[in-house]
Amino acid sequence: MSRTELVLLRHGESLWNAEDRYQGQMGTGLSALGHQQAKLAAEYLRSHVFDQIVASDLQRVTETLQPYLDSLPTAGTAGTAGTAGTAHGADGARTANAAGTANATGTADAAAAPDRPGTANAAGAATADATGGAGPAGTTGRSRSADAPDGAGAAGAEYVVGAAADGVGAVAAEYVVGAAAGGGGAAGAEYVVGAAAGLAYARQPGDAECGGRPGVRVDRRWREIDVGAWGGRTFADVYAAEPGVVEAFGRGEDVARGGGETFAQLRERVWEAIREIASSGARRVLVVTHGGPIRVATASTLRLPPGGEVLLDPPVNCSLTTIQVDDLLAVTTLTAYNVPTSGTASTEEQPA
């Protein structure tokens, strides 16, 4: 029976957190303090090794994750002669092997992203497993790699992304990520990444083990609870307009605030997301998410009854909660809850 450890990181302070506004699935990016918290969290996590990274697609989460991704190694690992390397360099470089040659017939430019203008070699053609079919000498090559599972690509980043497309780092040619499409062009659904969110990085098997970046997977099930029409409104405004609903929620009633979700609905979707991670075989996974999902994940781990999440203190910004689960979710353990990664987190409860 395999065991998976999930390290749950709440996002840094957002602009709406600072203004005591309900966010739900709306909201803004990070405040200046939130960006500082995200950098400190990245430093805290640098000594940790993860097989996978899973993240909500909301802006405050992607901005929290970015400093950690930036801190990870960017050097690519070389393949053997005649095979495609797994170059994940920040400049979009992709060397075919240690010597920088695609195979015995010609050299590929190891310093340039495959979709930039230029010649692939003196003959004007590179091999398919290095950069894909390049154009004639002096023309712009199209780097649709023959290794891409379906040759798919999205408008704006037609074939293989490099640093210019997503601002994060090059993606191995085997995973074709559509930067302009906001996540609609990846080859292999498990690696669909929202480039508009700034997380266009996919992984090949074994990357984390050999010192590369773990894969990032965006999963909307890790979004904050939906508070419907309450999103963007301050606590004071909502209480003045709907005191009965606010008071019912304060008594522990599981109401769908603003016509959005109940905690029972949130708990169901988050537990399903955990089930998927647990069955993946990953040993250690970083999940960057929100306070609501962390509370219900903890409540489920502890086998608390419905509504039990309200007994838990809301996680502070950029705090870590760690749970361990087996692949059947039969044995679940909470090993840490609401551990700050810096001394800058507010301990005041914030609207969701």
pTM over 0.75? The answer is: no
Say how many C-beta atoms besides its own lie within 10 A of residue 59's C-beta: 18
Q: Is 17 annotated as a binding residue?
A: yes
For residue 9, being part of any structural domain is answered with yes
Contact predicate 173/188, CB 8 Å: no
The three-class DSSP label of residue 311 is: helix
pLDDT at site 21: 97
For residue 265, being part of any structural domain is answered with yes
For residue 49, being part of any structural domain is answered with yes
For residue 352, being part of any structural domain is answered with no
Q: How many domains does the chain have?
A: 1
Q: Two tokens at 232?
A: 């963007």
Q: Is 15 annotated as a binding residue?
A: yes
Strand partners, 55: 218, 288
CA angle 92, 98, 102 (to 5 degrees): 70
Strand partners, 49: none
DSSP label of 329: S
For residue 110, being part of any structural domain is answered with no
Say how many C-beta atoms besides its own lie within 10 A of residue 252's C-beta: 13
pLDDT at site 213: 73
Contact predicate 284/51, CB 8 Å: yes
Q: Is 178 annotated as a binding residue?
A: no
> Pairing between strand 101-103 and 106-107?
antiparallel
Q: Is 10 annotated as a binding residue?
A: yes
DSSP 112-124: S-TTSBS-SSTTS
For residue 336, being part of any structural domain is answered with yes
For residue 158, being part of any structural domain is answered with no
CA angle 104, 109, 111 (to 5 degrees): 140
pLDDT at site 345: 61
pLDDT at site 343: 80
pLDDT at site 24: 97
pLDDT at site 156: 33
The three-class DSSP label of residue 43 is: helix
pLDDT at site 351: 66
Series of mean pLDDT values for 10-residue runs along the chain (352 residues): 95 97 96 98 95 97 97 61 39 35 34 34 33 35 34 32 31 30 33 36 40 84 98 97 95 95 98 97 97 98 95 96 97 98 71 68
Q: Is 281 exposed, middle or buried (0-12, 13-18, 19+ CB in 10 A)?
A: exposed
pLDDT at site 214: 86
Q: Is 11 annotated as a binding residue?
A: yes
Q: Is 16 annotated as a binding residue?
A: yes
CA angle 242, 34, 63 (to 5 degrees): 100
Residue 269: give its domain's CATH number: 3.40.50.1240
| Distance, C-alpha 295 to centroid of its chain | 19
Cα 142 from Cα 115, distance rounded (Å): 6
pLDDT at site 212: 58
Cα 60 from Cα 290, distance rounded (Å): 9
Tokens 């998927």 sit on residue? 276
For residue 237, being part of any structural domain is answered with yes
- In terms of residue numbers, what domain contains 276? 3-72+215-340
